[in-house]
Structure 1
Amino acid sequence: MSPTTHSQTTSGEDEFVTIIGGDAEEIGQVFRDQGLAAKDFTIVHRIGRHRIAMAPGQDDMSALVGALLGGRLVAATYARRPR
């Protein structure tokens, strides 16, 4: 399972994509499948274990994500700088 979130940006702003999965191999596959390297995305930091902290009132979403991944949460964030 590898849900992906996309930020909407206007011209001149950084854009970020965070890929969440069970391991680095899943994340790398999603990165390749979406052609993110060809779209000038680069990794912000190494792929690793992450903890999701939700804003107040969003506790149900945090529990849902945790349950879906069975406690195996690995994520990587990629960025594209404005051209």
Structure 2
Amino acid sequence: MSTPIDTTSEDFITIIAPSMAEVMASYKAQRLAERQYSIVHRAGKHSFTMADGEPLFEGTPMIAATFARRG
């Protein structure tokens, strides 16, 4: 039997940048490790669109990494 996950105590930050090096530089600059954030899943190239279909970043794929702090 699995235990339900309490998502109310989680806080997420997603960093989007042209390269993984820039994502990690931002992670360090924001001192996320010191604030107990860790990566949720592998980072990768994403295309972003608004709900209405409008592309973000002029349609250019970007690297996205999501970090979470679990309380």
**TM-score, normalization by structure 2:** 0.77
Task: Please identify the structure whose Cα radius of gyration is greater.
Answer: 2
Structure 1: any 5+ residue segments left out of the alignment?
A: 1-11
Give the ranges of 4+ consecutive aligned residues of structure 1 lying more than 3 Å apart after TM superposition. none
Name the structure with the higher strand share. 2
1:17 aligns with 2:13: yes
**TM-score, normalization by structure 1:** 0.67
Aligned pairs for 1:2-81 (under 5 A) are 13-56=9-52, 59=54, 63=55, 65-67=56-58, 71-81=60-70
Q: Equivalent pairs: percent with the same residue?
A: 36
The aligned length equals 64
Deviates more, 1:21-30 or 1:44-53: 44-53
RMSD, matched Cα: 1.8
Structure 2: any 5+ residue segments left out of the alignment?
A: 1-7
